[in-house]
Amino acid sequence: MAEEKTTVEVEETTEATQETKVEAQAQDPKEFLENFDWDKYEQGIERVDDSKLKEFESLVAENFVDTADEEVVQGTVVYLTEREAIIDINAKSEGVISLNEFRYNPDLKVGDKVEVLIDIREDKSGQLVLSHRKARTIMAWDRVNAAHDKEEIVSGFVKCRTKGGMIVDVFGIEAFLPGSQIDVKPIRDYDQYVNKTMEFKVVKINHEFKNVVVSHKALIEADIEEQKKEIIGQLEKGQVLEGVVKNITSYGVFIDLGGVDGLVHITDLSWSRINHPNEVVELDQKLNVVILDFDENKSRIQLGLKQLEKHPWDALSEDIKIGDKVKGKVVVIADYGAFIEVAEGVEGLIHVSEMSWSTHLRSAQDFVKVGDEVEAVVLTLDREDRKMSLGIKQLTPDPWTDITSKYPVGSKHKGIVRNFTNFGVFVELEEGIDGLIYISDLSWTKKIKHPSEFVTVGDTLEVEVLELDVEGRKLSLGHKQTTENPWDKYETEFALDTVHKGAIAEIVDKGATIDFNEDIVAFVPSRHLEKEDGKKLVKGEEAEFKIIEFNKEFKRVVASHTAIFREEEQRNVKAAVKKAAASADEAKPTLGDANEALQALKDKMEANDKKKK
């Protein structure tokens, strides 16, 4: 453009010189010299009147801009190429700006007014070098402050991602858009916003560090708040609305109803049991839900999904009745039983007591596991309350039906120890047939304080049926009855006044104990531990003992060592008396002599007693 203007000026000067020469040839020489314009001849330009010159300067001041550096002026887009925009700023030549500076405004077109900074007056080709970015930066802070103070909506270009958010070009300033301020819902793909022009609200300005924070979420929330008020005002129980799955948790699904969130609890997602809501729905899925309930402020809205479908119990075949066999899948197991899904959304409970004829405590996990296909018998059916109880043990015969023939009183069998309590042991003879052995029926000879001293769970024991209660389904068993009672033999062997050798095993309170054999542990009272010399037996000392008490029922045996030599003394006294009487007869002594002899013997015995004491 500048070259074209220069060429035109040269051509005009040449034409003026030629015209001057022609005029000089036509005029009188004297007149020509008087009127000849030497400035035009020498400098190639024509002198302009001062008045015209002032008029020209006035026009230039009004219509042309001063191209001084660092000045922001307004220009007009006059032409667009693939890479540049040609801007007219009313200077002697147009300016050029790269389209990269207008990335925030992809709709730029010819005729648009833009602010520019004259970066370089003229380049080597005579064109002005302008900068739109610098012009925007200079004026940006005033605009940003004004937008913040007036809470105006501004337009910005998302340049790139950064840690925690995005960088946005607002009026030429790089503002920060936090990730939490992009949208009201969680953002999973930040890249979808890059290179997009969006509207924002300036929420914070730090003048010291020249930081600007913008928010797109604030604009959405304002719109949502209006929508929310409108939606809340129209909410009614039973109303069906369309929503979008906003968030999925282990306990339910949050649905966006258009600015208002509601919760579909996991139990209201499907008539069938599910382990997690993502088995039924997925994020961003659109679906219809029904309003079940809400609080007074309608801030907590309870929604339902399964309620839009017919209840499975209503579709359950009328042919199913109590006593029928059904098949189903184990969906849930608890300690007390298992839930079986016999049809989609229709479940029945098999209580653990209905899984086996056995009466000892067991868990449902011992019989079934989740996912098992099982067959069961319908025990109860309540269509109104939608409840059903099932049983597995009913598929096999009740073992108690022929109990009297299989386990008559007096019969002996083998069983497995399943459990024990303080008072006895539970023994399983077969599945469903359990019997109790009282602690007193475990052993003939051992004094057992707790069954765990005698048996452990899982042991096999021989038992004898002692009692049978068919109606009460109870069996009384005994283990010791399977062997002979050794106390029948001991009753004769350790009869009263029998003498046995033994050693003092332990010194106990008020006496001592003697182990005559593995069953007989006799007690010796302290006064019966005395020896003939007045001393007492000690632990480990062996001696003879006389049985002074034997109780078969209570398994009590009491022995005495002292009784042995005391009895000998009594025999000696009797023998002396007899001998003295015989001697008296022979010598025929007087009665006084006999009395003196008896008195002397009596005094001797009393003296011995005093020494022992």
Residue pLDDT, tens place only, 434-446 = 899 999 888 887 8
* Phi, psi (degrees; rounded to nearest 5) at 113: -90, 130
- Could you list the residue range(s) of the whole structural domain that residue 210 is in? 155-222
Nearest to 546 by CA among 526, 566, 532: 566
Q: Give per-residue burial for 42-81: e unless 16+ CB within 10 Å, then b.
A: eeeeeeeeeeeeeeeeeeeeeeebebeeeeebebebeeee
User: Does residue 107 fall inside a structural domain?
Assistant: yes
Q: Say if residue 247 is in the same domain as residue 283.
A: yes
Q: How many CB atoms are located within 10 Å of the residue 161 CB? A: 15
**How many CA atoms within 13 Å lie on the side-chain side of 263?**
14
Cα distance between residue 20 and residue 306, in whole Å: 103
CB–CB of 376/350 below 8 Å? yes
Cα distance between residue 64 and residue 349, in whole Å: 94
pLDDT of res. 253: 92
User: Does residue 312 fall inside a structural domain?
Assistant: no
pLDDT of res. 49: 62
Nearest to 357 by CA among 389, 403, 323: 403
User: Does residue 141 fall inside a structural domain?
Assistant: no
Distance of CA 246 to the CA centre of its chain: 21
For β-strands 433-438 and 474-478, DSSP reports them as parallel
Cα distance between residue 67 and residue 58, in whole Å: 17
User: Does residue 271 fall inside a structural domain?
Assistant: yes
Q: Say if residue 495 is in the same domain as residue 555.
A: yes
Q: Say if residue 407 is in the same domain as residue 469.
A: yes
**How many CA atoms within 13 Å lie on the side-chain side of 288?**
6
Q: How many CB atoms are located within 10 Å of the residue 260 CB? A: 21
Cα Rg of the chain, angstroms: 60
pLDDT of res. 438: 93
Q: Say if residue 126 is in the same domain as residue 162.
A: no
For β-strands 261-265 and 301-304, DSSP reports them as parallel
User: Does residue 29 fall inside a structural domain?
Assistant: no
pLDDT of res. 611: 54
pLDDT of res. 8: 42
The 3-state secondary structure of 381-411, one letter per residue: EECCCCEEEEECHHHCCCHHHHHHHHCCCCC
User: Does residue 378 fall inside a structural domain?
Assistant: yes
Report the amino acid identity of residue 496: L
User: Does residue 282 fall inside a structural domain?
Assistant: yes
CB–CB of 305/269 below 8 Å? yes
Whole-model pTM over 0.75: no
Asked which of 395, 410, 441 is the last residue of a domain, the reply is: 395
Q: Partners of 376 in the beta sheet? A: 326
pLDDT of res. 1: 44
Cα distance between residue 530 and residue 103, in whole Å: 121
Q: Say if residue 382 is in the same domain as residue 425.
A: no
pLDDT of res. 221: 77
Q: How many independent structural domains does the chain possess? A: 6
Cα distance between residue 499 and residue 517, in whole Å: 14
- The CATH number given to whatever domain includes residue 245 is 2.40.50.140
Nearest to 451 by CA among 417, 477, 485, 484: 417
Q: Say if residue 447 is in the same domain as residue 466.
A: yes
pLDDT of res. 288: 92
Q: Say if residue 415 is in the same domain as residue 437.
A: yes
Cα distance between residue 68 and residue 80, in whole Å: 25
Q: Say if residue 563 is in the same domain as residue 491.
A: yes
User: Does residue 504 fall inside a structural domain?
Assistant: yes
Give the tokens for residue 346: 């229709």
pLDDT of res. 2: 42
Residue numbers of the chain with a pLDDT score lower than 70 = 1-70, 92, 120-126, 296-298, 359-361, 568-613
Report the amino acid identity of residue 136: R
Q: Say if residue 287 is in the same domain as residue 328.
A: no
pLDDT of res. 4: 44
Q: Say if residue 391 is in the same domain as residue 403.
A: no
Cα distance between residue 284 and residue 221, in whole Å: 19
What SS3 class is residue 77? strand
CB–CB of 477/463 below 8 Å? yes
Interhelix angle 591-612/562-587, nearest 10 degrees: 160
pLDDT of res. 413: 92
- Beta strand extents in 449-584 (DSSP E only): 460-469, 474-478, 499-508, 511-515, 521-525, 542-551, 556-560
Residue count of the chain? 613
Burial of residue 385 (number of CB atoms within 10 Å: 0-12, 13-18, 19+): exposed
Q: Say if residue 382 is in the same domain as residue 407.
A: no
Q: Partners of 348 in the beta sheet? A: 340
